[in-house]
A and B are shown apart, each in its own frame.
Chain A
Amino acid sequence: MAEMKFEEALKKLEKIVAELENGDLALDEALEKYEEGIRLSKVCAKKLDAARKKVEILLKADDGSFELKPYDEKSDEDDKPQEIKKKR
């Protein structure tokens, strides 16, 4: 359950809200959905705060295999517009 992705949890939560507002549910079913909704909102809030930014670069080896390496943003700051204008 803890592995559910943020957008999955949020979508499920909003779906439950719609079902409850629709008003066709029996009381005990409604209570169940309500509890599930509360639980999902907590999961969403928790994931929002987990500031886990991950930036990686995909590297291709000669044998065709792939590898993910962390991308260092600072190391390439020297890029200048000269990449953009070529001499004619």
Chain B
Amino acid sequence: MSGEPISPALPATDPDARQVPKAMRRFIADIGPTAALAMESCVHCGRCAEACHFYVQTEDPRYTPIHKIEPFKQAYERELGPFALAYRMFGLTPKITAKELQNWQELLYDSCNMCGRCSLICPMGIDIADLVERARHGMFAAGLVPEDFLGALAEKEHSSGSPYGLSTAQFKDMLHDIGAKHGVAMHVDEPTADIVTTVSSIDLKIYPSSMAAIAKILNHMGASWTFRTDGFDADNVSLTAGDRAGQRKITLSIVRAALACGAKTVLMPECGHSYTEMRWEAANTFGRELPFRVLQITELLAEGLSSGLIRVNKVSQSATYHDACQISRRGGATAAPRVILRALGVDLHELDDAGDTSWCCGGGGGVALIKRAQPLRDKAFQIKQRQVEATGAETVYTSCSGCRQTLEHGGKAANWNKTVASLLELVASNLKA
């Protein structure tokens, strides 16, 4: 199966050679002791390839995770590592060319979800997913983000605050329309609220019912809550594109919106990377510990079900659950969805590798937004397809709209007869009166 790359050839345009030093500087700017240790420690054992769905499904060695950061590793050695002077003096590591960097675009974007499964297998303890995210900062600085959806959406997000360029007025109208359609009271721009809830742009465009579900559950809990039009879109496409400035802008708008209404909790939607960003990075961007909790929706649901604030009817259904990498493996919230499924009485048939070692759906990290990567994504999806089929379950629940969309697309391409559904919506549709 090895050989030709699955993604179509990259555009033949010559990249701007002047951008390369900028890319490398951007990459190096963020390197601290942990990332440096990671780059210094690799023993080239190749085990990370065996944890990566793109390599496993294609056997193309270029998809070996640690290989994906090779130009940036070389830049570190030349410019920042303990022996950088020797590397430069004796030309031990050649300078990266613009063409090389362009050739790495497919490896850093199309074929990496930053899912971190490779980080689990590495015997040296190298967090390769973290290094890929840093390398994407460099690629963004070099103007080498894939131009289609991912690049376009990130650009729009940077300029408008929403990847689809939604104005606050449009957002407000959409929320009221969704509320009216589903018969649920929407709270928008309340001056004070305990919970500020954010949305994913995928939900806005494709799964608006999930916003109705959040509203329904928060109303059921009797919570003081609100959507805020000054900080609503948690999607943070900028993060996955590598745009640090855009990433900060989105994050800080949510932080400020929460501060403005004195929120005690910021609720993140069914979206993987947005949770990682808000839960683990927002405080660093803000410069100090956040004065509110950040919860992914499954964590809030699990808390509510455990405390009795959320009461549900039992569901007689057998199903399986797909873990979103950024919420479970990398986010530390693996237990929450299982608490919810138990409370609902779902007959859960766990996938092989459920929980922390779950295989990525193939769409995370912005890969779902790169059109040319679809054949590769579909290949990666086959692992999940086989595992779901082995459980015998008819429905796959997940807590990430990106995963949901990827599984639906993959299933469609494979003429799959399984239903992919949202765990949040399952809870909302089974609330006790």
Whether both chains belong to one complex is answered with: no
**Which positions in B face A, CB cutoff 8 Å?**
none
